[in-house]
Structure 1
Amino acid sequence: MLARQIKANQEAHCRRGKSSRHHHRGHRCRNYDQKDLIFQGEKNELLTIESEKNKRKSSLDRSKAIDLEIDAKTNAVFNRKNYKVIERINQGAFSQVYRGEYLVDHRSIAIKVMDLNKLSQMFRVKYIPRELKALIECRHKNVVQIYDIIRSNNRLFIFMEFCSNGDLASYIKRNGPCNDQLARFWFQQLIDALMHIHFELRMAHRDIKLDNVLLDNKFNAKLTDFGFAKDSWNESKNQVELSGTICGTEPYMCPQLMQRTQYDSYSADIWAMGVVLYCFLNAKFPFTWTNSATALNEMQNYPKYISSVFDEKVNEEAIDLVVKMLNPDEKSRITLESINEHPWLCKESSTN
């Protein structure tokens, strides 16, 4: 099934060809010139670095169905809208995610429940509206879709597309590096989603990582978690508006974020996507995260360091693309348009 899905995706990418690329050429975003972490285990090992949110999540016994306490008023709304909560599948510091069912067509759904009492005033006023705006506006096949939002008794219920095959971080932890064909399949989908977010919505995601890519029942990649998403385009000046907000997850941060300097959020997304591609191909992070100074030194030793840390089986064209995405100079970093035209992304692979 996955081989057929990859084949169809490649054919669609080829059909888009130059017409898709010309659509974005000359767009005003053309000139693209966090969460605290817990460190465990050996350096560079994928998924030994996890956020406090994921640390709490790991202690959850997912084999048990856990009831969601719903007051009578909220339960009446759920019943009227034909929603049923089944079990908890994820838990974070400020939210929980449940698997549910839409009773009209028995479709599985994900229900994110946020306790607004646990959130700071700034988070409630600034970040939640941004996330909801991004989720509502972003209609793309490789972005997790939102179906409904209910606010009741100071809790926010977000009803979303359910992705039954988990996240990419867990997939790679279980299965190891992706082969060239599978890496290209998922990377194409994520680049398509990112082009839509950057060019059509003019937003930067600002927290791209393997944990924020989910897999649906056909193993299609779906970008999620728009909590840090922001419109980073200055309309009046017709240029990118640099950001000084330190957000994202450390192994995916570009040098500008590490140095606490102003940065281009769109270009920072490209860097993070380069880390994702490296992880696809090597099942580890490209930089040594025993401390940030070591990682920053490796980033600056470009491109010698980057080129030297690939598995010997990795395709040379794939290495070339990652090296261009992990350029520490954001003004020289490859653009999304050039990524979309890169030989590795455009080549056809055998599905035998």
Structure 2
Amino acid sequence: MPGPDIRADENVHGEMSTAPTANVHSGVETKTERKLTVLETHGYVLGRTIGSGSYATVKVANSDRHNCQVAIKIISKFQAPGDYLKKFLPREIEVVKGLKHENLIRFLQAIETTHRVYIVMEYAENGSLLDIIRKDQHIDESRGRRWFKQLVEAVDYCHERGVVHRDIKCENLLMDSSLNIKLSDFGFARGHMKPKNGVYALSETFCGSYAYASPEILKGVPYRPQDSDIWSMGVVLYAIVYGRLPFDDTNYTQLLKQVQNKVSFPREPKISTECRKLITKILAPLKIRAKIPQILADPWLNPHQSPKDEELDGKPDNATSKEDIKNVNIGTVTFDRKFEEIK
């Protein structure tokens, strides 16, 4: 594992270490061995589970070292795919340890043992954006504007440093105690992606979730991941204001057709024209897709610089019935964690 914060403890059996403690029996002090977990030796006491997958679990922990609660992702070396352990996990650690932005989950430490890898991170106590959308059904534009701008600024920060995320979605946008967005889960991220002589490197790893994937990823062609991150942000913005995803990911063939057509908007809730225009600029073909500077300068994100937002006149593009909206509400969608490589 690269990086200064990874501590290997290959002599640990069952990931326990021993520390002598004193016990008194019949007035005679004797020393016995009390077993400490590896995390305890680093000052972490595990608490409840807040997330789990096929080979990783995320738990809350109390940290003596940081004097606060942290989140610890526990990855099993026996259950995780070899490609993930050799390629994606080292890359994730290398990437996140160099990032520091108020809207990114902060990396604190990585610990490696014989059986597991522990990634210690900032704890976002208010769950994910997806949780809030499911609870509120959709987000008003005022809150949505604030959160989307935080997301764009976080991604802009990453791109400026040559880091692409490649798995932006509502589940990976966490909320801190002040309800600020924290972009998390850099498991598919890649660094060293700054352009050279104006030329951007292309990716051929087709990763992420179908519902958030750009047309070029779904087609299985080499793609510029910065542009695909922007597309995913457009899907997030749509999900924020409408409480549903713009594309149905249950059928790949239909999904591929949908993402190549102009995005449609449901009848309800009523969303401002400016917001719809921004979504349309982002969920657009590659040649005309908005770039981050254009998004940050957009009238919807800067309402004080633009005329008052206009609401829909009740005649939306390709209007969808209320029953259709109910059927594809974001709360009922099953999200894909990772693509199979598209042939």
Verify same fold: TM over 0.5: yes
Counterpart residue identity of residue 130, structure 1: R
**Which residue of structure 2 lines up, in the alignment, with residue 313 of structure 1?**
270
Greater share of helix: 1
Larger radius of gyration: 2
SS in structure 1 at match of 2:105: coil
Please tell me the residue identity of whatever aligns with 2:152: I
Alignment length, in residue pairs?
277
Aligned residue number for residue 155 of structure 1: 116
Give the Cα separation in 2 of the matches to 1:163 and 1:82: 20
| Deviations 1:190-237, CA, capped at 9 Å, x for gaps | 0110000001x2111100000111111111110001111113636655
1:345 to 2:301 alignment? yes
Q: What RMSD over aligned residues (CA atoms) do the two structures have, in Å?
A: 2.2
How many Å apart are 1:268 and its aligned residue? 0.3
Does the CA-based 8 Å contact 2:242-2:269 persist in structure 1?
no
User: Aligned residue for 2:256?
Assistant: 296
SS at 2:216 equivalent: helix
Q: Does residue 72 in structure 1 map to residue 17 in structure 2? A: yes
Equivalent AA in structure 2 for residue 155 of structure 1: R
> Taking structure 1 as reference, are residues 120 and 290 closer, same or farther at Cα in structure 2, changes over 3 Å only?
closer
CA contact (8 A) 1:166 1:215 kept: yes
Matched, 1:197 2:158: yes
Question: Which amino acid in the other structure matches residue 142 of structure 2?
Answer: Q
Does structure 1 conserve the Cα–Cα contact (< 8 Å) formed by 2:246 and 2:264?
no
Counterpart amino acid of residue 321 in structure 1:
L
* Mapped partners of 1:241, 1:106: distance in 2: 41
Structure 2 counterpart SS, 1:118: coil
Query: What's the offset of the Cα at 1:296?
Result: 2.0
Q: Percent identity?
A: 30
Q: In the alignment, is the contact (CA less than 8 A) between 2:162 and 2:194 conserved in 1?
A: no
Q: For 1:128, what is the secondary structure of its paired residue? A: helix
Normalising by structure 2, what TM-score?
0.76
Change (3 A) 1:249 1:105: closer
State the distance in 2 between where 1:233 and 1:262 align.
Answer: 14
Cα drift, residue 239 of structure 1: 1.1
Distance, in Å, in 2 between the alignment partners of 1:277 and 1:184 is 9
1:109 to 70, 87, 107: 70
Structure 1, unaligned stretches of length 5 or more?
Answer: 1-68
**What is the CA distance between 1:76 and its match in structure 2?**
5.6
Alpha-carbon deviation of 1:308? 3.8
AA matched with 2:86? V
Asked which structure has the greater RCO (Cα within 8 Å, sep 6+), the reply is: 1
The corresponding residue for 2:203 is 243
Q: Which amino acid aligns with 1:214?
A: L
Counterparts of 1:320 and 1:230, CA distance in 2: 30
Contact 2:100 2:106 in 1 (8 A): yes
From 85, 88, 109, give the equivalent of 2:49: 88
Gapped runs of 5+ residues in structure 2?
Answer: 1-13, 19-34, 309-343
Contact 2:55 2:80 in 1 (8 A): yes
- How much does 1:124 deviate? 1.3
The correspondence for 1:100, drawn from 61, 64, 69, is 61
User: Aligned to 2:301, what secondary structure does the other structure show?
Assistant: helix
